Amino acid sequence: MNPPDPGQHDPKQEGSAFEYVAGTLSPEERADYERMLDTSAEERARVAFWQEQLLELDLRTPAREPRPSSWNAIANHIQARKAGRAGPSPFAWLGWLSSALAGLLLLAVFFGPLKNTTPNTDYIAVLTDNEGQAVLTALTTASDSRMWLKWEAQQDDAAEEDDSALQLWAISKRDGQVRSLAVFEKGQQLSEMPLNEANFRLVSDSSFLLLTREEAGGSAIDEPSDELIARGVCVRFGGDS
Amino acid sequence: MDAKDEELVKLLERCALKDEAALKQLYDQLGPWLNGVAFRILKSAELSNDVLQEAFVQVWNNAASYRPEKAKPLTWICSILRYRALDRLDKEKKHQDRRVEDEDLHALDNYASTENVEHAVQGSEMNQHLSDCLQAIGDRLGTCIKLAYLYGYSREEIASHFSSPVNTVKSWLRRGSEKLRECLETKL
């Protein structure tokens, strides 16, 4: 909301921030800039400045009544995600958190023997299905740039008749965007995988991880499908660094 | 933070607790305006409604990550919608040859002053300062910025409209933003 510190004025970066908000960066430039946003509070401040200032133009835009079906579509979407959870309590989200905390305890059991091989565990997410059953536990270790995966259940039931894949996504705390972390082809249940720097940042910046079922090869539109398999809060866990 | 913002922050806090009635209140208050913003960029009732739905689902999913000290609630919500709309526009552009439309050029005047302002959202006096600064930086730079921000026109599309090289438009956008920032900061 405040202007960026004039002492940090950098015309090139100012221009990139402006074009990011205006939407004129090329897809490649935008991807590069988003990677920078993941790590730079200064860049996020620049973007926030322009978003706040240019909002004034949006405020002058005439309202346009949405279709009557739009709210129902939104309500159906969020109900579908809530379906099967523990009742209609407005605090149902605590189920996700309690699952994650339970997962932290379980880790001591499941991964305890691996302590020497999973040093500097940084982030963990216990992904549970709509009934609160753990499906996948994911841990990252900064020291060796890996993600460790513990699959709690086979996920091939619905995939037996067609070619589908599971895809792991991270929901950014910063901008709310959902970004892909990995695609697991049918029957592929990796126990670990390398994480490049960009993916490590995605995890460290994420509020939740999602696991969805997608077509073989992963989502063609780079967005999660409605077939949510599991979801889990991503929390910082231990870490020596 | 004014009373309107405080009310929106409270609604987002309730959304973070998965209170669907709060999301409905947000939708009732902001849905028509946000749909107007999406329509302005996408020029399609079908696409703007799609994007509106996606944006509200994203607001619902990410309400817990909203930080009032980082952004005003309206800015946060509108940014979610705008980036969704721009993403959708990118996908649609792959199937069409888009040119700057006369209708958009004529409508730019509506954004140049506080006359004919849509008061549906804020319901209070609008900030004249941005309009003043957009005028102060010069017609061409101001037009470039508005074509990009308001309608999602790319550098290439703006370059085609002005019969200028794409790099020239990039430089106009950057120079324009620098001048605009300088002007805005004088009154912050």
* Residue B130 near residue A54, CB atoms below 8 Å: yes
Q: What single letter denotes the amino acid at residue A138? A: A
Neighboring chain B residues of A80 at a CB cutoff of 8 Å: none
Domain boundaries, chain A: 8-59, 92-236
Determine how β-strand A121-128 pairs with β-strand A134-141: antiparallel
How close, in Å, is residue B53 to chain A by CA atoms?
6
Identify the residue with better confidence: A108 or B34. B34
Identify the residue with better confidence: B97 or B181. B181
Is the CB of B127 less than 8 angstroms away from the CB of A56? yes
Cα(B147)–Cα(B144) distance, rounded to whole angstroms? Answer: 5
- Using one digit for the tens of pLDDT, what is the confidence trace for A144-170? 788 888 887 666 555 455 678 899 998
Q: What single letter denotes the amino acid at residue A176? A: G
How close, in Å, is residue A223 to chain B by CA atoms?
11
Q: What is the pLDDT of residue A11?
A: 77
Q: Minimum mean pLDDT among A115-119, B172-176, B178-182: which range?
A: A115-119
Whether the predicted pLDDT of A109 surpasses 90:
no
Cα(B178)–Cα(B172) distance, rounded to whole angstroms? Answer: 10
CATH number of B1-96: 1.10.1740.10
What's the predicted TM-score (pTM) here? Answer: 0.62
* Residue A119 near residue A143, CB atoms below 8 Å: yes
How close, in Å, is residue A183 to chain B by CA atoms?
22
Q: What single letter denotes the amino acid at residue B37? A: V
- Using one digit for the tens of pLDDT, what is the confidence trace for B54-71? 999 999 999 988 989 889
Q: What is the pLDDT of residue B98?
A: 79
Is the CB of B78 less than 8 angstroms away from the CB of A58? yes
β-bridge partners, A185: A165
The topology under which CATH files domain B97-188 is: Arc Repressor Mutant, subunit A (1.10.10)
Domain boundaries, chain B: 1-96, 97-188
Mutating which of A12, A59, A130 best tests the B interface, going by the most B Cβ atoms within 10 A? Answer: A59
CATH number of A92-236: 2.60.40
- C-alpha to C-alpha distances, A40 to A13, A33, A205, nearest whole angstrom: 11, 10, 12
Work out the number of other CB atoms within 10 angstroms of the CB of residue B117.
Answer: 19
Q: What is the pLDDT of residue B130?
A: 87
Nearest CA in chain A to B127: A56
Neighboring chain A residues of B53 at a CB cutoff of 8 Å: 70, 73-74, 77
Q: What single letter denotes the amino acid at residue B172? A: W
Identify the residue with better confidence: A60 or B73. B73
Structure tokens at A115: 């302590």
Q: What is the pLDDT of residue A96?
A: 52
How close, in Å, is residue A206 to chain B by CA atoms?
10
Nearest CA in chain A to B117: A60
Cα(B130)–Cα(A158) distance, rounded to whole angstroms? Answer: 54
Nearest CA in chain B to A210: B61
Structure tokens at B72: 């005003």
- Using one digit for the tens of pLDDT, what is the confidence trace for A185-213? 877 777 888 888 888 888 888 888 888 88
Q: Strand order in A178-185's β-sheet?
A: A178-185, A164-172, A206-215, A228-236, A121-128, A134-141, A146-151, A192-194
Is the CB of A60 less than 8 angstroms away from the CB of B118? yes
Structure tokens at B78: 């509108």
Is the CB of B118 less than 8 angstroms away from the CB of A63? yes
The predicted complex's ipTM stands at: 0.90
With H, G, I as helix, E, B as strand and everything else as coil, classify residue B8.
helix
What stretch of H or E contains B136? helix B128-136
Is the CB of A70 less than 8 angstroms away from the CB of B49? yes
Cα(B83)–Cα(A80) distance, rounded to whole angstroms? Answer: 24
